[in-house]
Chains A and B, each alone.
Chain A
Amino acid sequence: MKFSLLLLSLLSMSACAMGPNAAHKKEVAKIPPVKTETVDTPNETTVNVIYQEIKKEPLTKPAASKAPILKADKPVLISVVGQGVAPMNTTSPAQAYALAKRAATADAYRLIAEKVKGVNVDGQDLVKNMMVKRSTVRTSVQAMVKNANIVETTFKDGLCEVEMEITLSHSQFSH
């Protein structure tokens, strides 16, 4: 009897020393990630608790922003397709082709400039009485492009398409 009393008192003391949350914490540690458990709170109300183990990783910037796009040993090839149409008042199909090709070439140059240098975008919306009255988007680019090559030209149904390529190497920008 004495022995059992001693054992009980020892158990109660150890329980008090660990505190009320100790048992709870011990249980949390055992629960595998993403699992719903029913836990009896000291106030005897049953609640559903969701546990999820979250591995914290140090915040780092994306790798793409750190790595240089142009590497010394690897030139970058940029390919675009520009489109142009002939004006309505052409005197011959040959003239229409020449003018459409000129427009398509300029469009291809613009696409290269946009890819290499980027585009400025400016937007404006006018809302009156909860309705969009005017929506404006302005884009612009300004650049200088040289040594671009025309790879292929096609002319079909009044639309001229010019495929253009440019090779960017590290040495072009290093000096």
Chain B
Amino acid sequence: MRSRNGNNSFTLAIFSLILFHSLALNAASEYLISYRYVIKDATLYNEQLTIAKSMKKCLGNPYDSIMLEADTNASLKKIISKNKEKFIDYIHQLGLNIQHSQKVLNSQSKSTIILTLKTTCFKVDFNDNFAKISPLK
């Protein structure tokens, strides 16, 4: 036969477990995102969007967030690929580094433009129908 104290600790443990799981499901995660694309002679040559879960905690405060529609239990990669145009427009608004070089050799021109978003930590809040993505600074 269990004592009252023992039962109390058991129920407390159960409740704390449920609470932890519910928090973990809706908890904010941090992701590292970088983006780079290359234009050669006015034609898109290469485009790279890299998304990875941060392995250590990022410092900074969130700003300029974006809401993307999301299915339940969908990963960030899937959410972004579903709303790619919207997300890339948003990345442009955040600011991209521009590198441009043009070489004119005997009146023949060759140009290269590289636009880069350096690896930035984003805080992502997953909810039932949407994900809130905001960079940390």
Say if the beta carbon of B42 comes within 8 Å of chain A.
yes
Which of B66-74, B100-108, B120-128 lies at the interface with chain A? B100-108
CA A148 – CA B93 in complex, angstroms? 7
CA A143 – CA B97 in complex, angstroms? 6
Q: Are B42 and A84 in contact (CB under 8 A)?
A: yes
CA A84 – CA B43 in complex, angstroms? 6
Q: Are B106 and A138 in contact (CB under 8 A)?
A: no
Distance (whole angstroms) from the CB of B123 to the closest CB of chain A: 19
What bracket does the count of chain B residues touching chain A fall in?
Answer: 20 to 34
Q: Are A140 and B95 in contact (CB under 8 A)?
A: no
CA A144 – CA B92 in complex, angstroms? 11
0 or 1 for each of A59-103: is its CB under 8 Å from B? (1 = yes): 000000000000000000000000111110000000000111011
CA A108 – CA B44 in complex, angstroms? 14
Q: Are B97 and A144 in contact (CB under 8 A)?
A: yes
**Contacts A106-B115, A110-B113, A134-B105 hold; do A141 and B42 have CB atoms under 8 A apart?**
no
CA A102 – CA B45 in complex, angstroms? 10
CA A148 – CA B115 in complex, angstroms? 14
Say if the beta carbon of B49 comes within 8 Å of chain A.
no
Q: Are B92 and A143 in contact (CB under 8 A)?
A: no
Q: Are B43 and A86 in contact (CB under 8 A)?
A: yes
Say if the beta carbon of A14 comes within 8 Å of chain B.
no
Q: Are B47 and A102 in contact (CB under 8 A)?
A: yes
CA A135 – CA B102 in complex, angstroms? 14
Q: Are B92 and A148 in contact (CB under 8 A)?
A: yes
> Which residues does chain B contribute within 8 Å of A147, judged by CB atoms?
93, 95
User: Considering only CB atoms and an 8 Å cut-off, how many residues of chain A contact the other chain?
Assistant: 32
CA A99 – CA B77 in complex, angstroms? 21
Say if the beta carbon of B37 comes within 8 Å of chain A.
yes
**Most chain B CB neighbours (cut-off 10 Å) among A84, A99, A106, A141:** A106
0 or 1 for each of B77-109: is its CB under 8 Å from A? (1 = yes): 000000001000000111111111111111100
CA A100 – CA B121 in complex, angstroms? 29
> Which residues does chain A contribute within 8 Å of B33, judged by CB atoms?
none
Q: Are B105 and A135 in contact (CB under 8 A)?
A: yes
Q: Are B44 and A141 in contact (CB under 8 A)?
A: no
Say if the beta carbon of B58 comes within 8 Å of chain A.
no
> Which residues does chain A contribute within 8 Å of B113, judged by CB atoms?
106-107, 109-110
A: residues with CB less than 8 A from B are 83-87, 98-100, 102-103, 105-107, 109-110, 113-114, 134-148
For the A-B complex with A84-B43, A106-B113 known, give 13 more contacts whose Cβ atoms are closer than 8 Å.
Answer: A87-B44, A99-B44, A100-B44, A107-B42, A137-B104, A138-B101, A138-B104, A139-B101, A140-B99, A140-B102, A142-B98, A142-B99, A142-B100
